[in-house]
Amino acid sequence: MDVSVTMWGLTIIGLCALIAVDFFIGGRKPHEVSLKEAGIWTAVWVALAGLFGLGLLVFAGGQPSGEFFAGFITEKSLSVDNLFVFVLIMAKFAVPTIYQQRVLMVGVLIALVLRAVFIAAGAAIVSTFAWVFYIFGAFLIWTAWKLIQEARADEEEEEFEENRLLKAVEKRFPSTDQYHGTKLFIVENGKRLMTPMLIVMLAIGTTDVLFALDSIPAIFGLTQDPYIVFTANAFALMGLRQLYFLIGGLLKKLVHLSYGLSIILGFIGVKLVLHALHESGVHVPEISIPVSLGVICAVLAVTTATSLYASKKQALAEAGSGEDRTRDKDSVDV
């Protein structure tokens, strides 16, 4: 897909305008985000992504449109996994509820800028070295196996561990442990101090880079078009703030999410390896975009259904155990 510099500029301006509207309507004044508000804005961002994909269908054809939808759904599903870590970060820094939306908004913007750098680098490497698809494919298959191993280990909830960049910032710049509204810096006793608000924003943004190590190779397995890779990532990330508040309570119920994501990553990894073999002149079947889109949607649907069923079954079992313990206690008292 041949995208002119003008189209790139208009796209970035359009995305910035959407972010500005989101900020001035829903995120300018600190407040607790209700489920209704989060649901409306989530629907808006999904609808905007759908309209963009339809626009690609009309003006560029079915192939770019299919690649965008496959990339968007993949990035969106992988971003849900990010929310688990975001919850840990919010708890680690004890972010007040009314400030969480501002933290997520700025953190996601930082993540979007960093991902743009990753995408530019990835596009340059892919266009120059075809063999990099072998590395991307192998990495995704390894990541998929690692996700399965972690899911089967059934480890206790982990704590957020600050990355090196965040530790360096905290060490270099004096800070306070008290929140002062949405201020990033304050002056106290003539000394300029960094507030926890800035620290947690950096934590959200830089931590997302770790997830980009998985998601960027994954979407390059679906399309090698930098424009589609960037826009799919942008639409997936920009609705992440509202998604955090919408499904925050449901995250613990998605017990099979890691299995679903591992299947998706493994599938795309195999697709990348087959594509690399095809580019090397080996006659192997290639997986089409419609097939990829169907597999991704089917895996997510099955994963969600089995997760909710397993969570409901576990809740009923725990409720039954609680009633049995109550009866035993009453018997002893009698």
Which two structure tokens, joined as six digits, stand for 17?
A: 């305008």
Q: Rounded to an integer, what distance in angstroms lies between the CA atom of residue 71 and that of residue 65?
A: 10
pLDDT of residue 330: 56
Residue 193 φ then ψ, to 5°: -120, 145
Tokens 């790139």 found at: 8
- Determine contact, residues 71/222, Cβ cutoff 8 Å: yes
Q: Rounded to an integer, what distance in angstroms lies between the CA atom of residue 257 and that of residue 147?
A: 10
Measured in whole angstroms, the distance separating CA 3 from the mean position of its chain's CA atoms is: 26
Q: Rounded to an integer, what distance in angstroms lies between the CA atom of residue 231 and that of residue 10?
A: 12
Residues 6+ apart with CB under 8 A from 303: 254, 256, 257, 259, 260
pLDDT of residue 68: 93
Q: Rounded to an integer, what distance in angstroms lies between the CA atom of residue 213 and that of residue 218?
A: 9
* Among the listed residues 95, 54, 68, 67, the one whose alpha carbon sits nearest the alpha carbon of residue 245: 95
User: What residue type is assigned to position 324 of the chain?
Assistant: D
pLDDT of residue 3: 84
Dihedral angle over CA of 206, 207, 213, 218, nearest 10: -110
pLDDT of residue 136: 79
The model carries a pTM of 0.75
Distances (CA, A) of 103 to 51, 87, 278: 28, 12, 45
pLDDT of residue 325: 60
Domain ranges of the chain: 5-130+140-154+162-250
The pLDDT profile of the chain, 334 residues, written as one tens digit per residue, is 778 889 999 999 998 898 888 777 766 677 777 778 888 888 888 999 999 999 999 999 899 999 999 989 888 887 776 777 777 788 778 888 888 888 888 878 888 888 888 888 877 887 777 777 788 788 888 878 887 887 676 554 555 555 666 677 667 777 777 788 778 888 887 788 888 888 888 888 777 766 666 677 888 888 888 899 999 988 988 888 788 887 765 666 777 877 888 888 888 888 888 878 877 778 888 788 788 888 888 988 898 888 888 878 877 777 766 555 656 555 555 5
* Among the listed residues 119, 81, 113, 108, the one whose alpha carbon sits nearest the alpha carbon of residue 22: 108
User: What residue type is assigned to position 54 of the chain?
Assistant: L
